[in-house]
Structures are given as structure tokens and as C-alpha cells.
Amino acid sequence: LVHDFAIWFQQVLANSFYPVLRRVIEVGSAFEGWSPREQDVVYQVLVPMTPPRGHSFHLELDTAGQSHLRNFRIRVQQECTCSSQQRGEKMLCFLHHPEEELRAKQEPSLLHTLCTDSYLDVEKTAHWFYQLVRAAWPALAEAHSWHLVPLLSRRSCQFMVSNDTESYRIEMLFGVRQGNSDIFVSSQPRPGHTSSTSWPETYAVAEMKFFKYIEMRAPPDSLHLKCLQFFTRLQLGLGFSTYTMKTIVMHLLNITPVSEWRRRH
């Protein structure tokens, strides 16, 4: 379903001045093979974004707030596209054409749609995603047999899809990759207040790849996921976060041979 959404998004947004949406990446506990609450599973996907034509993204470390959490701001900058116009591409340069001509002949720049003070705004982007999902849903084959209900969220796009026998909660996060790494800055909510132009650093993609790596090398009767699920349920009344317990288990997986994650050990 999410991949069908992504294909529709790419077709509709082609040649627009909104962020370019790349192939979705499955992340989070549901896709890693465990969940702290089986009755409340959330299927998370991360949608990487790259700048549209005539724009560039620049990540700036946000030094305000909690020092142990790395937050970034995504500064959006307009780029000269005069050379593209000379090659026959139908686009006016945002930097070197009069404002009146741009308003009359071209869609507005990303700076004027999803930004606040030249920075990409998480909440505006989330609202835009909700609009895309609502517009795309009637065109998808799943709409004939499933029911979609949007769920309120300021920093992500969440919705429930259900039919007579099943229901799934899906959360679409969006973010920008740092260089060529598996580290992103994303819309993922954090505890407490987070500015609408603040994008927390996330290692969700790298963590997903780590669990895939362990899965390929673990014996069929490995208990590492059951242990992770047990400890994350145990911590619910102890004051530790689920992510803290997950980090501890990942550290143990990194230093302990996977062959030892069996019942007899």
C-alpha cells in the first residue's frame, strides 16, 4: 500500500517545486521483527526527500534545546537555473526573473509553500503529506476493499486502514539523508516540545539494516528478538524508554556471537 502511495506521489509531483519523494524505507520495530505491544503495532516507513529543481537543502545543527539530542534545521536555498532554461527546459529561474513574471507563469517556490523563515517546516510538510494521501487514496486499488481513516499528528502522516477482518496503523515519516550515509534528519516526534523547523537526527535506517544483518547470521532458534520484546515490555513500568532498551540489546548483539542467543545459553 505505502509503495503504491509513493508511486502515485512521484507521478503527481513530477516537475513540481515540492520536495522530491524517493523510495520509501521500512523502519521501526514492526519491520525489525518485534514490537513492545503486539496489540498496538505501528508500521513505520521513512520517505526520503531531496530538493526540487532550482532548490538545494543545507543541514544546520540546531544548538538550542537538549544537548544530548542532535537536532537539525533544513535551510532551503534557491539555485540559479538559467543554464537549464538555455537548454530548452521550461522553467524560469527563481533568482534572475522578475517576481511578477514568476507569479504569473510559474508555481511558487518551495520557500513559499512548506518553509518558515527559509527553513523546511515539519508541520507544514506533514499537512502536505496528509493532503497527498487523501488525494491519492481514491485512485488506488486498495480503496475498493479497504477503509482509510487519517489520524491526527503534527509531525508525521498517520492513518488507519481496515476492512471487515483486519486493521493496520501506518505512520509515514519523512526526512533528508545526511550525505551518503544511513543517517537521516527526520520528522520523527520526540518527547517534549520540538520546534516546527527542528528535524531530529535518526538512525532508524541504520538500525533496520543492523537487524537484517543479524537475521541473516542468526540460527533459526535465536531468541534475540524475543529478548528484545521481553525487555521493552518489562521497562514500561521502570521509567526507561523503549529506545534505551533497544540500544542495550543492539550493543549486546554487537559484542555477543549470534550463535549464543539460544535457549540453552
What architecture does CATH give domain 2-203? 2-Layer Sandwich (3.30)
If we measure between CA atoms, which residue out of 73, 76, 83, 89 comes closest to residue 50?
A: 76
Max CA pair span of the chain:
75
Share of the chain above pLDDT 90, in %: 55
Residues 39-69: pLDDT tens digits? 678 999 999 999 999 999 999 998 776 556 7
Length of the chain as a residue count? 265
Residues 163-177: pLDDT tens digits? 989 999 999 999 999
DSSP calls for 87-122: TT-S---TTTS-HHHHHHHSPPPGGGTSEETTEE-H
Residues 83-99: pLDDT tens digits? 876 555 678 999 988 88
Q: Could you give the residue range(s) of every CATH 3.30.460.90 domain in the chain?
A: 2-203
Q: What is the Cβ-side half-sphere exposure of residue 36, based on CA atoms within 13 angstroms?
A: 15
What distance, in Å, lies between the first and last C-alpha atoms of the chain?
40
**Confidence (pLDDT) at 263:** 67
**Confidence (pLDDT) at 241:** 80
Share of the chain above pLDDT 70, in %: 92
- Interval 129-136 mean pLDDT: 94
**Confidence (pLDDT) at 219:** 85
**Confidence (pLDDT) at 68:** 67
Instruction: Please tell me the distance from the alpha carbon of residue 129 to that of residue 126, in angstroms, as a whole number.
Output: 5
**Confidence (pLDDT) at 66:** 59
**Confidence (pLDDT) at 146:** 94
Averaged pLDDT score across all residues of the chain: 89
